[in-house]
């Protein structure tokens, strides 16, 4: 047996946080060395951070990344480490990794396949490295080769695929396998999306089988730059089997996964493969020989263990809870905000946002401990035992506000109070009816007529939502806290939200999730809750209600679905029309086959209504506060779904549907 101990690390990095990023890199190296790892794979662009956007164009950024690389070299004694950074070569910018062995920069590998779809825009900044090209670069005071390289360390061959390189058909790993690679590193920045973890595991396991290598996959973790959340999934697989995996969606800034693998076993598996075609003649500059001895390693009995919550029947609910609470934690501490303010209406959306903030506090105490969590959130550590109730800290970090008008009901007031008490929020009740009435009276006087629900419905609804904004903004300012907007993705699709009303906030944590899922998630949180944290039974006061904006008089019986359409249908139309880019006619055909309980005329009206509202409300989506990307089909125009603000609005296509449209709900 030839045993080698390998490691993969998940790092919570921040764009351009040079000292913080370097500190996490050093911690990962130290932990890997302490675990007797001989090789360590760190995530893509971990020196600069992945989400630097157009700051990648700054020569000062690439120079500082080079300085940090030079500073890290002494920390890599007795270990081989891959560190990601942008480099300038031949007049172009490349997404590269530096391979450092025992304190020496031995070479660089540049990414060959750039991610340019979905939320990724790498081709805007980087150039793809040409296949098989080798050059020389001077970096961090060293002269080293750069290109499509393999590294030979004491007879062990190490190759690289950088994130997207592994997801394409003509992947570099195919070539590396022919060159007898023993280990393939994949430094990644692979964003979270529902169900993606399973696909990643399959990718890594199959690569280890088909390429006959040990495959080491690292990833970022956390809300790195504001919108995208990384789940920190690290995977090590050999001979088609996952042998180690790290935690996902954790709050810890560094998580190192190590395992001992048998290189001889993978080599013999390759030798037994009838389809293996070795590259016998190898260009001399393609394989870089590295002077470092790999000491003998003793066999270990280690098994990959997936967390219990990932094996439950509620994986999507668990993922959502953990992804958004991780996003809230990172956004608050990286923006140096001291907690959150939520306008708690007593309805589903605001209850979900407030509960997510509370779950973040619970997770912080559970995973980090009181002292580290308080320090990260900018609070003075309080005297708490690990098993203390998080109530004191929640009251310090979370403020909820119920703002009533004459159209508010006792039901929602009571529900808001019940939920706020259950999550230990500091709860405030304000009556803003006089503010709303003052605006209405001033405009009526200016127009010279009374305003009525018969003639001015939308304006009268909107002024109530807008009258609530100044108070919560003022509270957020006074507390140096983040005001969390409470609009969801279904509302964003059709503009069923009041700009500068329920959309106001510095962060919109649920704008990436549809209302149907959110309602299901709240029922799950009432009955089950996240593994290890438990349920919030008091949500029954919210879950028993029919969703309503409560902006019309109570005797109008306003509900969201009456204003729009059934939420499950709305979300299906959005998926076909926006996610799959289908025409109105194609969308109607698809939902007609799926929703047979509705008659053809009603379905036609709802499809028409969706496309009309979608087209005229792009300006709202452009103005939404930053939202978390939790699904690969997102509506955020700044990270996934671009659509013109001004357009023809599908008028010809909708005319061919044959049913006239109807008035908009909460147009602005």
Q: Which of 92, 545, 206, 564 is nearest to 348 (CA)?
A: 545
Q: Do residues 86 and 61 touch, judged by C-beta distance below 8 A?
A: yes
Comparing 597 with 302, which gets the higher pLDDT? 597
First to last CA, the chain: 69
Strands 183-187 and 214-223: parallel
CA-to-CA distance for 191 and 188, rounded, in angstroms? 9
HEC sequence for 199-239? HHHHHHHHHHHHCCCEEEEEEEEEECCCCEEEECCCEEEEC
Confidence of residue 631 (pLDDT cuts 50, 70, 90): confident
Which pair of structure tokens corresponds to residue 183? 């280990």
Predicted TM-score (pTM) above 0.85: yes
CA-to-CA distance for 150 and 135, rounded, in angstroms? 14
Confidence of residue 40 (pLDDT cuts 50, 70, 90): very high
Pick the range with the lowest mean pLDDT from 174-188, 368-382, 562-576, 621-635.
Answer: 368-382
In the predicted model, is pLDDT for residue 237 greater than 90? yes
Phi, psi angles (nearest 5°) of residue 333: -75, -35
Beta strands in 327-411 (DSSP E): 340-343, 398-404
pLDDT score of 284:
66
Beta bridge partners of 157: 152
Pick the range with the lowest mean pLDDT from 400-404, 564-568, 655-659.
Answer: 655-659
Domains of the chain: 3-306 (3.60.110.10), 312-554 (3.40.50.620)
Cβ count within 10 A of residue 632: 16
pLDDT score of 563:
85
CA-to-CA distance for 167 and 445, rounded, in angstroms? 63
Q: Decide: residue 663, CB within 10 A, 0-12 exposed, 13-18 middle, 19+ buried.
A: exposed
In the predicted model, is pLDDT for residue 239 greater than 60? yes
Confidence of residue 295 (pLDDT cuts 50, 70, 90): confident
Mean pLDDT calculated for residue range 515-530: 96
pLDDT score of 274:
65
Mean pLDDT calculated for residue range 593-622: 95
Mean pLDDT calculated for residue range 153-170: 95
| 326 three-class SS | helix
For 341-385, the pLDDT digits (tens) are 999 999 999 999 999 999 999 999 999 999 999 999 988 765 444
In the predicted model, is pLDDT for residue 550 greater than 60? yes
Mean pLDDT calculated for residue range 609-617: 96
- 1, 461, 467 from 157: Cα distances, Å: 16, 67, 66
CA-to-CA distance for 164 and 195, rounded, in angstroms? 18
The whole-chain average pLDDT of the chain stands at: 93
Cβ count within 10 A of residue 379: 15
pLDDT score of 663:
47
Beta strands in 508-556 (DSSP E): none
Confidence of residue 404 (pLDDT cuts 50, 70, 90): very high
Q: Do residues 14 and 49 touch, judged by C-beta distance below 8 A?
A: yes
Which pair of structure tokens corresponds to residue 430? 């304000």
CA-to-CA distance for 41 and 185, rounded, in angstroms? 6
In the predicted model, is pLDDT for residue 386 greater than 60? no
Cβ count within 10 A of residue 127: 17
For 82, the enclosing helix (H) or strand (E) is: strand 80-89
For 56-95, the pLDDT digits (tens) are 999 999 999 999 999 999 999 999 999 999 999 999 999 9
């Amino acid at each position: 047996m030839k045993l080698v101990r390998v490691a993969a690390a998940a790092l919570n990095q921040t764009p351009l946080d040079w000292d913080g990023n370097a500190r996490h890199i050093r911690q990962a190296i130290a932990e890997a060395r302490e675990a007797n790892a001989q090789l360590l794979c760190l995530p893509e662009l971990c020196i600069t951070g992945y989400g630097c956007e157009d700051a990648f164009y700054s020569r000062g950024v690439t120079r500082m990344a080079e300085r940090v690389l030079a500073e890290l070299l002494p920390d890599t004694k007795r270990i081989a480490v891959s560190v990601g950074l942008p480099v300038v070569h031949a007049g172009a910018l490349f997404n590269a990794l530096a391979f450092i062995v025992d304190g020496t920069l031995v070479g660089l590998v540049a990414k060959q396949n750039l991610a340019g779809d979905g939320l990724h825009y790498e081709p805007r900044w980087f150039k793809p490295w040409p296949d098989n090209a080798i050059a020389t670069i001077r970096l961090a005071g060293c002269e080293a080769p750069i290109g499509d390289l393999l590294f030979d360390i004491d007879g062990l061959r190490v190759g690289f695929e950088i994130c997207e390189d592994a997801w394409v058909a003509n992947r570099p790993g195919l070539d590396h396998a022919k060159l007898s690679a023993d280990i393939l590193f994949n430094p990644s920045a692979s964003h979270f999306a529902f169900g993606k973890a399973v696909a990643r595991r399959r990718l890594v396991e199959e690569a280890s089988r088909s390429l006959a290598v040990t495959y080491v996959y690292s990833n970022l973790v956390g809300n790195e730059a504001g919108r995208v959340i990384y789940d920190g999934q690290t995977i090590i697989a050999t001979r088609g089997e996952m042998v180690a995996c790290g935690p996902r969606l954790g709050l810890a800034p560094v998580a190192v996964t190590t395992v001992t693998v048998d290189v001889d076993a993978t080599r013999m598996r390759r030798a037994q493969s009838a389809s293996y075609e070795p590259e016998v003649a190898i260009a001399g500059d393609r394989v870089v020989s590295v002077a470092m001895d790999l000491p003998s390693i003793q066999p270990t009995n280690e098994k990959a263990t997936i967390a219990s919550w990932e094996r439950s029947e509620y994986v999507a609910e668990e993922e959502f809870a953990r992804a958004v609470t991780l996003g809230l934690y990172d956004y608050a501490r990286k923006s140096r905000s001291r907690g959150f303010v939520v306008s708690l209406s007593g309805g589903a959306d605001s209850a979900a946002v407030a509960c997510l903030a509370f779950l973040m506090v619970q997770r912080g105490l559970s995973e980090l401990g009181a002292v580290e969590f308080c320090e990260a959130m900018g609070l003075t550590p309080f005297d708490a035992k690990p098993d203390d109730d998080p109530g004191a800290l929640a009251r310090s970090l979370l403020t909820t506000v119920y703002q009533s008008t004459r159209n508010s009901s006792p039901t929602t007031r009571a529900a808001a109070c019940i939920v706020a008490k259950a999550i230990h929020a500091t709860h405030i009740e304000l009556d803003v009816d006089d503010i709303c009435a003052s605006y209405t009276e001033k405009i009526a006087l200016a127009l010279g007529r009374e305003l009525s629900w018969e003639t001015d419905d939308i304006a009268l609804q909107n002024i109530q939502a807008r009258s609530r904004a100044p108070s919560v903004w003022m509270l957020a300012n006074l507390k140096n806290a983040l005001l969390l907007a409470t609009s969801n993705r279904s509302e964003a699709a059709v503009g069923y939200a009041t700009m500068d009303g329920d959309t106001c906030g510095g962060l919109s944590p649920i704008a990436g999730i549809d209302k149907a899922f959110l309602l299901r998630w709240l029922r799950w949180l009432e009955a089950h809750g996240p593994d290890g944290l438990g349920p919030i039974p008091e949500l029954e006061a919210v879950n028993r209600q029919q969703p309503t904006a409560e902006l019309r008089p109570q005797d109008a019986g306003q509900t969201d679905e009456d204003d729009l359409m059934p939420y499950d249908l709305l979300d299906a139309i959005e998926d076909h029309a926006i996610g799959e880019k289908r025409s109105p006619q194609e969308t109607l055909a698809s939902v007609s086959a799926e929703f047979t309980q509705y008659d053809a005329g009603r379905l036609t009206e709802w499809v028409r209504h969706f496309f009309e509202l979608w087209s005229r409300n792009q300006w709202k989506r452009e103005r939404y506060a930053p939202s978390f990307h939790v699904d690969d089909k997102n509506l955020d125009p700044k990270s996934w779904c671009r659509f013109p603000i001004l357009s023809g609005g599908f008028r010809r296509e909708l005319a061919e549907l044959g049913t006239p449209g109807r008035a908009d709900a909460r147009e602005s």
